[in-house]
């Protein structure tokens, strides 16, 4: 079957290097891909903005679909299975990136870091790869968390509890995938009535999929409980965004929580490995994939206290407020939806805390400081 003709979303990094061993690569704009553009391609590599279903693939030669993202709500998996098309996602590839986002939001919101490190809790909705990673990263920073996931038995993990328990937390972070079927569909699962039970001054972070909380419920929530702070990364109707809701947010970003360079490269590699396995399974031979080595930035730190050091270390690598500023400016453009995609396409290179080297500015960091920074990075 080799060489293949491969269509790859223009926002998939290092695709030219990782997919070159398989054959010819052609790039496309993810949200605008049409059936006419498929040509004679046998493999399609997408991100979450491309709907892959019968309307796109009927009559094509596509035999492999890979999404370099964790979610599958943009893939018609039933259709792909019926059609004999191999389909894969990249579960967990951006989990650390989303955890970095949550930590950056917490550090940017007034005294939220102090409240949490002095006995407060983060409530998580969704306890898959991302939710678990967020819980683990918070625990290393001495922040407790509790999680709600109706798809998991509560006995399977000590973090798991009820939604009521999650709603009692000072911070609530939503990481549920978007589903419309099954016993527990997540579409519009959280209502204004439920969320209005959050504690005074609570922070609600939404970094899973926009449809999990309806826009009208979030608008109603802010009307009923103006003390509740919103940090929104995902939106119903993307790339269109309700400006009224964005204006009510403490932090608003254009679906970039998982957009670290390290996370995107991990997603690319996971799908390249899946394609290599598919090629081997159909008897076309085994391929060695090239390694992608990213340089490690060095970060100088001056702060002394634990929380001040954490805030400095976080902001030096990823300051969510910069994303918030760019996004708010884009909402005043003539075509905000077009700008939403442009912000994602031209997103600045962002590294994960785990892939940076922290050091003292002018003096060596103490053992306690090094341990705290290792905890931030996800190391034991």
Catalytic residues: 209, 238, 255
Q: How far apart are CA 32 and CA 130, in angstroms?
A: 28
- Residues 6 or more apart in contact with residue 63 via CB below 8 angstroms: 42, 43, 84, 85, 86
* DSSP secondary structure string for all residues of 158-208: TTB--HHHHTTSSEEEE-PPP--SSSS--TT-B-HHHHTTSPTT-EEEE-S
For 283-317, b/e burial (b = at least 16 CB within 10 A) is eeeeeebeeeeeeeeebebeeeebbebbbbbbeeb
Q: What is the signed CA dihedral for 331, 202, 211, 105, rounded to 10 degrees?
A: 60
How far is C-alpha 205 from the chain's CA centre?
A: 12
- Residues 6 or more apart in contact with residue 42 via CB below 8 angstroms: 1, 4, 5, 6, 61, 62, 63, 64
Could you give the count of Cα atoms lying within 13 Å of 66 in the half-sphere of its Cβ? 25
Q: How far apart are CA 116 and CA 141, in angstroms?
A: 10
- Residues 6 or more apart in contact with residue 92 via CB below 8 angstroms: 70, 129, 130, 133
Q: What is the DSSP letter of 332?
A: T
| SS3 readout for 19-39 | HHHHEEEEEECHHHCCHHHCC
């Amino acid at each position: 079957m080799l060489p293949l003709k491969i269509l790859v979303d223009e926002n998939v990094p290092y695709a030219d290097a990782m997919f070159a061993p398989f054959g010819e690569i052609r790039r496309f704009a993810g949200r605008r891909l049409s059936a006419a553009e498929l040509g004679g391609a046998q493999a399609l590599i997408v991100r979450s903005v491309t709907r892959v279903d019968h309307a796109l693939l009927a009559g094509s030669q596509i035999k492999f679909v890979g999404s370099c993202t964790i979610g599958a709500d943009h893939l018609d998996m039933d259709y792909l299975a019926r059609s004999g098309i191999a389909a894969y996602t990249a579960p967990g590839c951006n989990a650390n990136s989303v955890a970095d986002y949550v930590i950056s939001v917490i550090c940017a919101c007034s005294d939220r870091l102090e409240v949490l490190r002095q006995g407060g809790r983060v409530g998580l909705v969704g306890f898959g790869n991302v939710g678990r990673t967020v819980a683990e990263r918070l625990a290393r920073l001495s922040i407790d968390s509790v999680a709600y996931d109706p798809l998991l038995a509560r006995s399977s993990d000590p973090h798991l509890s009820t939604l009521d328990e999650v709603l009692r937390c000072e911070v609530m972070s939503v990481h549920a995938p978007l589903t419309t079927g099954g016993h527990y569909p997540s579409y519009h699962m959280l209502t204004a009535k439920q969320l209005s039970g959050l504690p005074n001054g609570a922070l609600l972070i939404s970094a899973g999929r926009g449809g999990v909380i309806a826009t009208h419920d979030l608008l109603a929530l802010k009307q009923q409980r103006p003390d509740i702070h919103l940090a929104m990364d995902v939106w119903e109707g993307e790339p269109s965004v309700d400006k009224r809701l964005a204006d009510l947010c403490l932090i608003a970003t254009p679906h970039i929580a998982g957009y670290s360079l390290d996370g995107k490269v991990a997603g690319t590699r996971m799908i390249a490995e899946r394609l290599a396995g598919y090629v081997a399974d159909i008897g076309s031979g085994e391929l060695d994939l090239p390694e992608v080595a990213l340089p490690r930035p060095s970060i100088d730190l001056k702060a002394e206290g634990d929380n001040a050091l954490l805030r400095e270390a976080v902001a030096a690598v990823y300051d969510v407020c910069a994303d918030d500023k760019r996004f708010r400016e884009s909402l005043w453009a003539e075509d905000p939806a077009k700008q939403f995609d442009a912000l994602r396409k031209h997103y600045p290179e962002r590294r994960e805390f785990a892939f940076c080297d922290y050091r003292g500015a002018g003096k060596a960091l103490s053992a306690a400081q090094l341990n705290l920074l290792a905890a931030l990075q996800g190391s034991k």
